[in-house]
Chain A
Amino acid sequence: MVQEPVREARTVMSESDIQRVLTRIAHEILEANRGVEDLILLGIPRRGVPLANRLAQKLAEIEPEYVVQERTGQLDITLYRDDLARAESRIPATTMIPPAGVDNTVVVLVDDVLYSGRTIRAALDALADIGRPRTVRLAVLVDRGHRQLPLRADYVGKNLPTASTERVMVQLAEIDGADADYTSDQVQIVDVMD
Protein backbone atom coordinates (compact mmCIF):
# COMPACT_ATOMS: atom_id res chain seq x y z
CA MET A 1 0.00 0.00 0.00
CA VAL A 2 1.25 3.42 -0.90
CA GLN A 3 1.29 5.83 2.00
CA GLU A 4 -0.62 8.94 0.93
CA PRO A 5 0.66 12.11 2.54
CA VAL A 6 -2.05 13.06 5.01
CA ARG A 7 -3.31 16.58 4.35
CA GLU A 8 -3.86 18.72 7.37
CA ALA A 9 -7.47 19.42 8.17
CA ARG A 10 -8.10 23.12 7.68
CA THR A 11 -10.15 24.84 10.33
CA VAL A 12 -12.50 27.30 8.65
CA MET A 13 -14.70 28.22 11.63
CA SER A 14 -13.71 28.36 15.27
CA GLU A 15 -15.95 28.03 18.30
CA SER A 16 -16.28 31.80 18.54
CA ASP A 17 -17.03 32.06 14.80
CA ILE A 18 -19.88 29.60 15.27
CA GLN A 19 -21.26 31.53 18.23
CA ARG A 20 -21.06 34.77 16.32
CA VAL A 21 -22.88 33.55 13.22
CA LEU A 22 -25.62 31.90 15.31
CA THR A 23 -26.21 35.23 17.02
CA ARG A 24 -26.38 36.93 13.65
CA ILE A 25 -28.77 34.33 12.26
CA ALA A 26 -31.00 34.71 15.31
CA HIS A 27 -31.24 38.42 14.64
CA GLU A 28 -31.87 37.83 10.94
CA ILE A 29 -34.70 35.45 11.71
CA LEU A 30 -36.31 37.93 14.09
CA GLU A 31 -35.96 40.68 11.55
CA ALA A 32 -37.41 38.69 8.69
CA ASN A 33 -40.24 37.35 10.83
CA ARG A 34 -40.85 40.69 12.56
CA GLY A 35 -40.57 39.03 15.95
CA VAL A 36 -41.14 35.50 17.23
CA GLU A 37 -44.85 35.16 16.49
CA ASP A 38 -45.73 31.71 15.07
CA LEU A 39 -42.01 30.90 14.88
CA ILE A 40 -40.85 27.31 15.26
CA LEU A 41 -37.33 25.94 14.91
CA LEU A 42 -36.86 22.34 13.76
CA GLY A 43 -33.39 20.89 13.78
CA ILE A 44 -32.50 18.10 11.38
CA PRO A 45 -30.61 15.24 13.13
CA ARG A 46 -28.00 14.90 13.95
CA ARG A 47 -26.10 18.22 14.10
CA GLY A 48 -29.02 20.39 13.08
CA VAL A 49 -30.62 19.61 16.44
CA PRO A 50 -28.04 21.26 18.75
CA LEU A 51 -27.78 24.16 16.30
CA ALA A 52 -31.58 24.66 16.48
CA ASN A 53 -31.41 24.51 20.27
CA ARG A 54 -28.61 27.07 20.39
CA LEU A 55 -30.53 29.36 18.02
CA ALA A 56 -33.63 28.93 20.18
CA GLN A 57 -31.67 29.95 23.28
CA LYS A 58 -30.50 33.09 21.52
CA LEU A 59 -34.05 33.90 20.35
CA ALA A 60 -35.28 33.50 23.90
CA GLU A 61 -32.54 35.78 25.20
CA ILE A 62 -33.59 38.47 22.75
CA GLU A 63 -37.35 37.88 22.89
CA PRO A 64 -38.40 36.30 26.24
CA GLU A 65 -41.88 35.45 24.86
CA TYR A 66 -40.16 32.79 22.74
CA VAL A 67 -40.48 29.71 25.01
CA VAL A 68 -37.81 27.28 23.90
CA GLN A 69 -39.59 24.07 24.93
CA GLU A 70 -42.80 25.02 23.14
CA ARG A 71 -41.22 26.32 19.95
CA THR A 72 -38.33 23.99 19.20
CA GLY A 73 -38.25 20.45 17.90
CA GLN A 74 -36.48 18.07 15.60
CA LEU A 75 -37.42 16.56 12.28
CA ASP A 76 -35.89 13.28 11.22
CA ILE A 77 -35.62 12.71 7.50
CA THR A 78 -34.19 9.16 7.41
CA LEU A 79 -37.42 7.60 6.20
CA TYR A 80 -37.78 10.26 3.49
CA ARG A 81 -34.34 9.96 1.94
CA ASP A 82 -34.15 9.28 -1.80
CA ASP A 83 -30.90 7.34 -1.54
CA LEU A 84 -32.09 4.62 0.84
CA ALA A 85 -31.35 1.81 -1.58
CA ARG A 86 -27.75 2.97 -1.90
CA ALA A 87 -26.76 3.30 1.71
CA GLU A 88 -26.97 0.97 4.66
CA SER A 89 -30.28 1.36 6.41
CA ARG A 90 -30.02 3.52 9.50
CA ILE A 91 -32.10 3.49 12.59
CA PRO A 92 -34.30 6.55 12.24
CA ALA A 93 -33.82 9.34 14.78
CA THR A 94 -36.70 10.72 16.75
CA THR A 95 -39.01 13.36 15.33
CA MET A 96 -40.26 15.76 18.01
CA ILE A 97 -42.79 18.37 17.04
CA PRO A 98 -43.83 21.10 19.48
CA PRO A 99 -47.15 20.23 21.15
CA ALA A 100 -49.15 22.84 19.22
CA GLY A 101 -48.14 21.36 15.89
CA VAL A 102 -46.85 23.14 12.81
CA ASP A 103 -50.06 24.17 11.06
CA ASN A 104 -50.02 27.89 10.10
CA THR A 105 -46.63 28.46 11.72
CA VAL A 106 -43.35 29.74 10.34
CA VAL A 107 -41.00 26.79 10.47
CA VAL A 108 -37.28 27.39 10.27
CA LEU A 109 -35.46 24.21 9.39
CA VAL A 110 -31.94 24.13 10.83
CA ASP A 111 -29.07 21.99 9.54
CA ASP A 112 -25.30 22.12 9.75
CA VAL A 113 -24.16 21.84 6.13
CA LEU A 114 -26.11 22.58 2.96
CA TYR A 115 -24.68 20.55 0.08
CA SER A 116 -26.71 18.75 -2.61
CA GLY A 117 -30.03 19.89 -1.15
CA ARG A 118 -31.39 16.35 -0.94
CA THR A 119 -31.62 16.39 2.82
CA ILE A 120 -33.74 19.54 2.69
CA ARG A 121 -35.93 18.05 -0.05
CA ALA A 122 -36.54 15.08 2.27
CA ALA A 123 -37.19 17.44 5.19
CA LEU A 124 -39.84 19.32 3.22
CA ASP A 125 -41.57 16.01 2.43
CA ALA A 126 -41.38 14.92 6.05
CA LEU A 127 -42.77 18.24 7.18
CA ALA A 128 -45.66 18.05 4.73
CA ASP A 129 -46.74 14.72 6.27
CA ILE A 130 -46.85 16.32 9.72
CA GLY A 131 -48.77 19.50 8.95
CA ARG A 132 -49.08 22.59 6.83
CA PRO A 133 -46.87 25.49 7.96
CA ARG A 134 -47.62 28.97 6.55
CA THR A 135 -43.97 29.45 5.61
CA VAL A 136 -40.87 27.27 5.69
CA ARG A 137 -37.40 28.81 5.92
CA LEU A 138 -33.96 27.26 6.02
CA ALA A 139 -31.01 28.13 8.23
CA VAL A 140 -27.60 26.46 7.83
CA LEU A 141 -24.26 26.88 9.49
CA VAL A 142 -22.32 26.29 6.26
CA ASP A 143 -23.32 26.40 2.59
CA ARG A 144 -20.65 24.54 0.67
CA GLY A 145 -22.26 24.74 -2.79
CA HIS A 146 -22.67 21.84 -5.28
CA ARG A 147 -26.48 21.97 -5.21
CA GLN A 148 -28.30 19.23 -7.12
CA LEU A 149 -31.79 20.62 -6.51
CA PRO A 150 -33.26 24.11 -6.95
CA LEU A 151 -33.01 25.06 -3.27
CA ARG A 152 -31.30 27.82 -1.35
CA ALA A 153 -30.90 28.73 2.31
CA ASP A 154 -32.53 31.82 3.82
CA TYR A 155 -29.94 32.17 6.58
CA VAL A 156 -26.31 31.13 6.03
CA GLY A 157 -23.59 31.19 8.66
CA LYS A 158 -20.77 31.00 6.15
CA ASN A 159 -20.52 30.44 2.42
CA LEU A 160 -17.68 28.01 1.92
CA PRO A 161 -16.42 27.27 -1.58
CA THR A 162 -15.28 23.61 -1.63
CA ALA A 163 -14.17 20.98 -4.07
CA SER A 164 -16.38 17.90 -4.26
CA THR A 165 -13.38 15.83 -3.17
CA GLU A 166 -13.39 17.66 0.14
CA ARG A 167 -15.48 16.94 3.16
CA VAL A 168 -16.84 19.52 5.57
CA MET A 169 -16.67 18.32 9.16
CA VAL A 170 -18.67 20.04 11.86
CA GLN A 171 -17.92 19.32 15.50
CA LEU A 172 -20.37 20.38 18.16
CA ALA A 173 -20.05 19.70 21.86
CA GLU A 174 -23.57 18.26 22.20
CA ILE A 175 -22.86 15.53 19.62
CA ASP A 176 -19.09 15.15 19.49
CA GLY A 177 -18.10 16.20 22.98
CA ALA A 178 -17.49 12.65 24.12
CA ASP A 179 -15.16 11.82 21.21
CA ALA A 180 -11.50 11.46 22.02
CA ASP A 181 -10.39 13.87 19.28
CA TYR A 182 -12.87 16.60 20.21
CA THR A 183 -11.23 19.76 21.51
CA SER A 184 -13.71 22.54 20.79
CA ASP A 185 -16.57 23.38 18.44
CA GLN A 186 -15.27 23.99 14.93
CA VAL A 187 -15.81 23.51 11.20
CA GLN A 188 -13.02 21.87 9.26
CA ILE A 189 -12.35 20.97 5.64
CA VAL A 190 -10.73 17.60 5.05
CA ASP A 191 -9.42 16.24 1.79
CA VAL A 192 -10.93 12.81 1.16
CA MET A 193 -9.26 12.06 -2.17
CA ASP A 194 -8.47 8.40 -2.32
Chain B
Amino acid sequence: MRHLLATRNLSYDNAMAILDTAQEMATVSDRSIKKLPTLRGQTVVNLFFEDSTRTRTSFEAAAKRLSADVLNFAVKTSSVSKGESLKDTVQTLEAIGGDAIVMRHWASGAAQQLANFGWSSSAVINAGDGTHEHPTQALLDAFTLRDRIHGQHASGKDLEGLHIVVVGDILHSRVARSNVWLLHTLGAKVTLSGPPTLMPVGVTTWPVEINYDLDALLAEQPDAIMMLRVQAERMSGDFFPSAAEYTRGWGLTNDRYKRIEGCNTLIMHPGPMNRGLEISAAAADSAQNTALEQVANGVSVRMAVLYLLLAGQPGQ
Protein backbone atom coordinates (compact mmCIF):
# COMPACT_ATOMS: atom_id res chain seq x y z
CA MET B 1 0.00 0.00 0.00
CA ARG B 2 1.39 3.36 -1.03
CA HIS B 3 -1.73 5.48 -0.49
CA LEU B 4 -5.18 5.03 0.99
CA LEU B 5 -7.54 6.69 -1.45
CA ALA B 6 -10.69 4.60 -1.47
CA THR B 7 -12.15 1.34 -0.26
CA ARG B 8 -13.45 0.58 -3.77
CA ASN B 9 -10.11 -0.92 -4.75
CA LEU B 10 -8.85 -1.89 -1.30
CA SER B 11 -8.00 -5.58 -1.32
CA TYR B 12 -9.32 -7.96 1.31
CA ASP B 13 -5.78 -8.60 2.54
CA ASN B 14 -4.97 -4.92 2.92
CA ALA B 15 -8.28 -4.23 4.65
CA MET B 16 -7.64 -7.06 7.09
CA ALA B 17 -4.07 -5.86 7.65
CA ILE B 18 -5.41 -2.44 8.63
CA LEU B 19 -8.02 -3.90 10.97
CA ASP B 20 -5.60 -6.32 12.61
CA THR B 21 -2.98 -3.62 13.05
CA ALA B 22 -5.61 -1.31 14.49
CA GLN B 23 -6.43 -4.04 16.98
CA GLU B 24 -2.89 -3.80 18.36
CA MET B 25 -2.90 -0.01 18.18
CA ALA B 26 -6.04 0.03 20.32
CA THR B 27 -4.14 -1.54 23.22
CA VAL B 28 -1.83 1.48 23.26
CA SER B 29 -4.80 3.68 24.03
CA ASP B 30 -5.41 1.64 27.17
CA ARG B 31 -1.94 2.15 28.60
CA SER B 32 -0.74 5.02 30.73
CA ILE B 33 1.92 5.90 28.14
CA LYS B 34 -0.21 6.33 25.02
CA LYS B 35 2.69 6.76 22.69
CA LEU B 36 4.80 4.68 20.34
CA PRO B 37 8.13 5.74 18.81
CA THR B 38 7.22 4.16 15.47
CA LEU B 39 7.04 7.25 13.25
CA ARG B 40 9.59 9.37 15.06
CA GLY B 41 11.10 11.91 12.69
CA GLN B 42 8.28 11.63 10.16
CA THR B 43 5.90 14.45 9.37
CA VAL B 44 2.19 14.08 8.75
CA VAL B 45 0.46 17.02 7.10
CA ASN B 46 -3.23 17.45 7.75
CA LEU B 47 -4.39 19.33 4.68
CA PHE B 48 -8.00 20.34 5.13
CA PHE B 49 -9.91 22.19 2.43
CA GLU B 50 -13.11 21.64 4.38
CA ASP B 51 -13.64 22.13 8.08
CA SER B 52 -13.80 18.94 10.06
CA THR B 53 -12.53 19.24 13.58
CA ARG B 54 -13.48 15.64 14.34
CA THR B 55 -11.61 13.98 11.53
CA ARG B 56 -8.63 16.31 11.80
CA THR B 57 -8.33 15.77 15.55
CA SER B 58 -8.58 12.02 15.12
CA PHE B 59 -5.77 11.96 12.55
CA GLU B 60 -3.73 14.33 14.68
CA ALA B 61 -4.09 12.10 17.76
CA ALA B 62 -3.19 9.05 15.65
CA ALA B 63 -0.06 10.67 14.23
CA LYS B 64 1.05 11.96 17.63
CA ARG B 65 0.60 8.58 19.30
CA LEU B 66 3.03 7.25 16.73
CA SER B 67 5.46 10.11 17.52
CA ALA B 68 5.09 11.74 14.12
CA ASP B 69 5.23 15.51 13.82
CA VAL B 70 1.95 17.01 12.70
CA LEU B 71 1.39 20.07 10.57
CA ASN B 72 -2.15 21.33 10.28
CA PHE B 73 -2.87 23.24 7.12
CA ALA B 74 -6.35 24.60 6.54
CA VAL B 75 -7.23 26.10 3.18
CA LYS B 76 -10.30 28.21 2.84
CA THR B 77 -11.34 27.70 -0.72
CA SER B 78 -14.41 26.16 -2.19
CA SER B 79 -15.76 25.37 -5.59
CA VAL B 80 -17.35 28.81 -5.43
CA SER B 81 -14.46 30.89 -4.09
CA LYS B 82 -11.47 29.69 -5.99
CA GLY B 83 -8.14 30.56 -4.49
CA GLU B 84 -4.79 28.92 -4.73
CA SER B 85 -4.98 25.72 -6.70
CA LEU B 86 -4.62 22.29 -5.13
CA LYS B 87 -1.47 21.75 -7.14
CA ASP B 88 0.17 24.96 -5.89
CA THR B 89 -0.84 24.31 -2.29
CA VAL B 90 0.56 20.81 -2.36
CA GLN B 91 3.80 21.87 -3.96
CA THR B 92 4.23 24.48 -1.24
CA LEU B 93 3.81 21.74 1.33
CA GLU B 94 6.26 19.52 -0.52
CA ALA B 95 8.85 22.23 -0.08
CA ILE B 96 8.24 22.16 3.67
CA GLY B 97 8.68 18.41 3.59
CA GLY B 98 6.03 15.94 4.68
CA ASP B 99 5.96 12.18 4.57
CA ALA B 100 2.20 11.81 4.46
CA ILE B 101 -0.60 14.11 3.46
CA VAL B 102 -3.96 13.52 5.08
CA MET B 103 -6.39 15.41 2.89
CA ARG B 104 -10.02 16.41 3.28
CA HIS B 105 -11.34 18.10 0.17
CA TRP B 106 -14.69 19.29 -1.14
CA ALA B 107 -13.90 17.91 -4.60
CA SER B 108 -14.51 14.26 -5.44
CA GLY B 109 -11.30 12.70 -6.71
CA ALA B 110 -8.95 15.29 -5.20
CA ALA B 111 -7.01 12.67 -3.21
CA GLN B 112 -6.57 10.47 -6.27
CA GLN B 113 -5.36 13.46 -8.27
CA LEU B 114 -2.87 14.31 -5.54
CA ALA B 115 -1.54 10.76 -5.46
CA ASN B 116 -1.36 10.17 -9.20
CA PHE B 117 -0.55 13.44 -10.94
CA GLY B 118 3.05 13.76 -9.77
CA TRP B 119 2.31 16.83 -7.65
CA SER B 120 3.65 15.21 -4.50
CA SER B 121 5.86 12.37 -3.40
CA SER B 122 4.06 11.91 -0.08
CA ALA B 123 1.83 9.06 0.90
CA VAL B 124 -1.73 10.29 0.48
CA ILE B 125 -4.55 9.42 2.86
CA ASN B 126 -8.01 10.41 1.75
CA ALA B 127 -9.83 11.92 4.71
CA GLY B 128 -12.96 12.49 2.65
CA ASP B 129 -13.23 13.81 -0.93
CA GLY B 130 -16.45 15.43 -2.04
CA THR B 131 -19.19 12.83 -2.36
CA HIS B 132 -16.74 10.13 -3.38
CA GLU B 133 -15.12 8.28 -0.47
CA HIS B 134 -14.07 8.47 3.16
CA PRO B 135 -12.13 5.23 3.56
CA THR B 136 -10.91 5.61 7.16
CA GLN B 137 -14.51 6.17 8.32
CA ALA B 138 -15.55 2.89 6.71
CA LEU B 139 -12.55 1.13 8.22
CA LEU B 140 -13.35 2.38 11.69
CA ASP B 141 -16.98 1.34 11.21
CA ALA B 142 -15.85 -2.15 10.21
CA PHE B 143 -13.45 -2.21 13.14
CA THR B 144 -16.25 -1.21 15.51
CA LEU B 145 -18.56 -3.91 14.16
CA ARG B 146 -15.87 -6.55 14.45
CA ASP B 147 -14.94 -5.43 17.93
CA ARG B 148 -18.55 -5.50 19.15
CA ILE B 149 -19.18 -8.92 17.67
CA HIS B 150 -15.87 -10.73 18.28
CA GLY B 151 -14.35 -8.69 21.11
CA GLN B 152 -10.79 -9.69 22.07
CA HIS B 153 -10.74 -12.46 19.54
CA ALA B 154 -11.52 -10.21 16.60
CA SER B 155 -8.04 -10.36 15.06
CA GLY B 156 -8.06 -12.18 11.74
CA LYS B 157 -11.87 -12.23 11.53
CA ASP B 158 -13.83 -10.54 8.77
CA LEU B 159 -17.53 -9.65 8.61
CA GLU B 160 -18.75 -12.74 6.77
CA GLY B 161 -22.43 -13.36 7.30
CA LEU B 162 -23.31 -10.02 8.87
CA HIS B 163 -26.22 -7.96 7.58
CA ILE B 164 -25.72 -4.20 7.68
CA VAL B 165 -28.43 -1.69 6.77
CA VAL B 166 -27.33 1.78 5.67
CA VAL B 167 -30.09 4.38 5.87
CA GLY B 168 -30.45 7.86 4.46
CA ASP B 169 -28.80 10.10 1.89
CA ILE B 170 -26.78 7.56 -0.05
CA LEU B 171 -26.57 9.90 -3.05
CA HIS B 172 -24.44 12.55 -1.37
CA SER B 173 -22.66 10.33 1.15
CA ARG B 174 -19.00 9.45 0.83
CA VAL B 175 -19.36 7.47 4.06
CA ALA B 176 -22.03 5.28 2.47
CA ARG B 177 -19.93 4.63 -0.62
CA SER B 178 -16.83 3.67 1.34
CA ASN B 179 -18.90 1.45 3.60
CA VAL B 180 -20.66 -0.33 0.76
CA TRP B 181 -17.39 -1.38 -0.89
CA LEU B 182 -15.58 -2.29 2.31
CA LEU B 183 -18.44 -4.19 3.93
CA HIS B 184 -18.85 -6.12 0.71
CA THR B 185 -15.12 -6.91 0.56
CA LEU B 186 -15.24 -8.16 4.14
CA GLY B 187 -18.15 -10.47 3.39
CA ALA B 188 -21.10 -8.61 4.88
CA LYS B 189 -24.47 -8.27 3.19
CA VAL B 190 -25.44 -4.61 2.74
CA THR B 191 -28.94 -3.23 2.32
CA LEU B 192 -29.53 0.42 1.48
CA SER B 193 -32.64 2.24 2.57
CA GLY B 194 -33.84 5.81 2.20
CA PRO B 195 -35.95 7.98 -0.06
CA PRO B 196 -35.60 6.90 -3.71
CA THR B 197 -34.56 10.46 -4.58
CA LEU B 198 -31.44 9.98 -2.47
CA MET B 199 -30.41 6.70 -4.10
CA PRO B 200 -27.70 7.12 -6.74
CA VAL B 201 -28.42 6.25 -10.37
CA GLY B 202 -27.15 2.77 -11.16
CA VAL B 203 -27.16 1.71 -7.53
CA THR B 204 -28.65 -1.60 -8.64
CA THR B 205 -25.23 -2.47 -10.08
CA TRP B 206 -23.65 -2.10 -6.63
CA PRO B 207 -23.17 -5.17 -4.44
CA VAL B 208 -26.15 -4.21 -2.28
CA GLU B 209 -29.84 -4.78 -1.89
CA ILE B 210 -32.28 -1.89 -1.89
CA ASN B 211 -35.32 -1.78 0.34
CA TYR B 212 -37.25 1.45 0.85
CA ASP B 213 -39.20 -0.07 3.73
CA LEU B 214 -37.15 0.56 6.86
CA ASP B 215 -39.73 -1.12 9.12
CA ALA B 216 -39.48 -4.36 7.17
CA LEU B 217 -35.70 -4.22 7.44
CA LEU B 218 -35.77 -3.65 11.19
CA ALA B 219 -38.04 -6.67 11.55
CA GLU B 220 -35.21 -8.77 10.09
CA GLN B 221 -33.03 -7.67 13.03
CA PRO B 222 -29.92 -6.81 11.05
CA ASP B 223 -26.55 -6.89 12.83
CA ALA B 224 -26.23 -3.15 12.50
CA ILE B 225 -28.14 -0.19 11.23
CA MET B 226 -26.02 2.70 10.06
CA MET B 227 -27.86 6.02 10.16
CA LEU B 228 -26.43 8.66 7.81
CA ARG B 229 -26.57 12.31 8.69
CA VAL B 230 -29.18 14.33 6.82
CA GLN B 231 -27.56 17.49 5.51
CA ALA B 232 -29.50 20.69 6.05
CA GLU B 233 -29.15 21.74 2.41
CA ARG B 234 -31.07 18.66 1.23
CA MET B 235 -34.16 19.73 3.10
CA SER B 236 -35.12 22.55 0.75
CA GLY B 237 -37.78 20.35 -0.83
CA ASP B 238 -35.95 19.05 -3.89
CA PHE B 239 -35.26 15.60 -2.51
CA PHE B 240 -38.05 15.06 0.00
CA PRO B 241 -41.03 17.18 0.98
CA SER B 242 -40.17 17.92 4.60
CA ALA B 243 -37.97 16.90 7.51
CA ALA B 244 -41.02 15.43 9.25
CA GLU B 245 -41.80 13.22 6.28
CA TYR B 246 -38.19 12.06 6.15
CA THR B 247 -38.24 11.14 9.81
CA ARG B 248 -41.54 9.28 9.42
CA GLY B 249 -40.09 7.20 6.61
CA TRP B 250 -36.43 6.76 7.42
CA GLY B 251 -35.66 8.17 10.85
CA LEU B 252 -34.75 5.87 13.73
CA THR B 253 -37.64 7.18 15.78
CA ASN B 254 -38.41 6.15 19.33
CA ASP B 255 -41.08 3.84 18.02
CA ARG B 256 -38.68 2.10 15.67
CA TYR B 257 -35.95 2.04 18.30
CA LYS B 258 -38.28 0.25 20.75
CA ARG B 259 -38.70 -2.53 18.22
CA ILE B 260 -34.94 -3.25 18.16
CA GLU B 261 -34.19 -2.34 21.76
CA GLY B 262 -32.40 -5.20 23.49
CA CYS B 263 -31.81 -7.01 20.20
CA ASN B 264 -28.33 -7.53 18.85
CA THR B 265 -28.83 -4.79 16.29
CA LEU B 266 -26.11 -2.18 16.69
CA ILE B 267 -26.88 1.46 15.95
CA MET B 268 -24.08 3.25 14.13
CA HIS B 269 -23.69 6.87 13.11
CA PRO B 270 -20.69 8.63 11.58
CA GLY B 271 -21.58 11.73 13.64
CA PRO B 272 -22.45 14.39 14.35
CA MET B 273 -26.02 13.22 14.97
CA ASN B 274 -29.12 15.25 14.19
CA ARG B 275 -31.20 14.19 17.18
CA GLY B 276 -34.86 14.16 16.37
CA LEU B 277 -34.24 13.99 12.62
CA GLU B 278 -32.51 10.80 11.53
CA ILE B 279 -32.16 9.47 15.07
CA SER B 280 -34.22 9.89 18.23
CA ALA B 281 -32.62 10.87 21.52
CA ALA B 282 -33.31 7.44 23.01
CA ALA B 283 -31.66 5.69 20.08
CA ALA B 284 -28.75 8.11 20.19
CA ASP B 285 -28.10 7.40 23.87
CA SER B 286 -28.77 3.67 23.68
CA ALA B 287 -26.20 1.09 24.76
CA GLN B 288 -26.66 -0.35 21.28
CA ASN B 289 -25.32 2.90 19.84
CA THR B 290 -21.64 2.71 18.98
CA ALA B 291 -21.07 6.40 18.19
CA LEU B 292 -18.51 7.00 20.95
CA GLU B 293 -16.64 3.75 20.28
CA GLN B 294 -16.51 4.77 16.65
CA VAL B 295 -14.68 7.92 17.69
CA ALA B 296 -12.17 6.00 19.84
CA ASN B 297 -11.69 3.33 17.20
CA GLY B 298 -11.11 6.04 14.64
CA VAL B 299 -7.81 6.88 16.30
CA SER B 300 -6.66 3.23 16.32
CA VAL B 301 -7.62 2.71 12.69
CA ARG B 302 -5.85 5.90 11.61
CA MET B 303 -2.76 4.88 13.57
CA ALA B 304 -2.82 1.58 11.69
CA VAL B 305 -3.13 3.32 8.33
CA LEU B 306 -0.34 5.79 9.08
CA TYR B 307 1.88 2.98 10.32
CA LEU B 308 1.26 0.71 7.34
CA LEU B 309 1.81 3.50 4.82
CA LEU B 310 4.77 5.19 6.45
CA ALA B 311 6.74 2.47 8.23
CA GLY B 312 8.25 0.54 5.41
CA GLN B 313 9.54 1.19 2.00
CA PRO B 314 6.99 1.48 -0.77
CA GLY B 315 7.06 -1.28 -3.31
CA GLN B 316 8.84 -3.84 -1.15
Contact between chain A and chain B defined by CB under 8 Å? yes
A90 vs B24: C-alpha distance when bound (angstroms)? 12
Query: 1/0 per position for B145-172, CB-CB distance to A under 8 A?
Result: 0000000000100000000000000000
Among listed A31-39, A58-66, A80-88, A143-151, interface-contacting one? A80-88
**A130, CB-defined interface residue at 8 Å:** yes
Contacting residues, chain A, for B311 (C-beta < 8 A): 84-85, 89
Closest Cβ neighbor of B303 among chain A residues: A79
Q: Spell out B's residues near A (CB within 8 Å).
A: 17, 20-21, 23-25, 27, 31, 33, 35-38, 66, 155, 307-313, 316
Contact B24 A86 (CB under 8 A): no
Q: Which listed residue (B20, B38, B155) contacts A79, Cβ 8 A? A: B38
Contact A89 B307 (CB under 8 A): yes
Main secondary structure of the interface of A (DSSP, over half): loop
Contact A87 B312 (CB under 8 A): yes
| Shortest beta-carbon distance from A125 to chain B in Å | 7
Contact B312 A84 (CB under 8 A): yes
**A99, CB-defined interface residue at 8 Å:** no
**A162, CB-defined interface residue at 8 Å:** no
Q: Spell out A's residues near B (CB within 8 Å).
A: 76, 79-80, 84-95, 125, 129-130
A28 vs B155: C-alpha distance when bound (angstroms)? 36
Write 8 A-B pairs (CB below 8 A) sorted by A numbering: A80-B38, A89-B307, A91-B17, A91-B20, A91-B24, A94-B155, A129-B31, A130-B33
Q: Which listed residue (B20, B35, B309) contacts A129, Cβ 8 A? A: B35
A92 vs B303: C-alpha distance when bound (angstroms)? 12
Contact B316 A130 (CB under 8 A): no
Beyond A88-B312, A92-B21, A129-B35, list 16 extra A-B contacts (CB 8 Å).
A76-B24, A79-B37, A79-B307, A80-B36, A80-B37, A84-B311, A84-B312, A86-B313, A87-B313, A91-B17, A91-B20, A92-B24, A92-B307, A94-B23, A94-B155, A130-B31
A27 vs B37: C-alpha distance when bound (angstroms)? 36
Closest Cβ neighbor of B17 among chain A residues: A91
A59 vs B312: C-alpha distance when bound (angstroms)? 39
Contacting residues, chain B, for A129 (C-beta < 8 A): 31, 33, 35-36
Contacting residues, chain B, for A91 (C-beta < 8 A): 17, 20-21, 24, 308
A104 vs B36: C-alpha distance when bound (angstroms)? 22
| Shortest beta-carbon distance from B146 to chain A in Å | 15
A76 vs B309: C-alpha distance when bound (angstroms)? 19
Contacting residues, chain B, for A79 (C-beta < 8 A): 24, 36-38, 66, 307
A20 vs B38: C-alpha distance when bound (angstroms)? 38
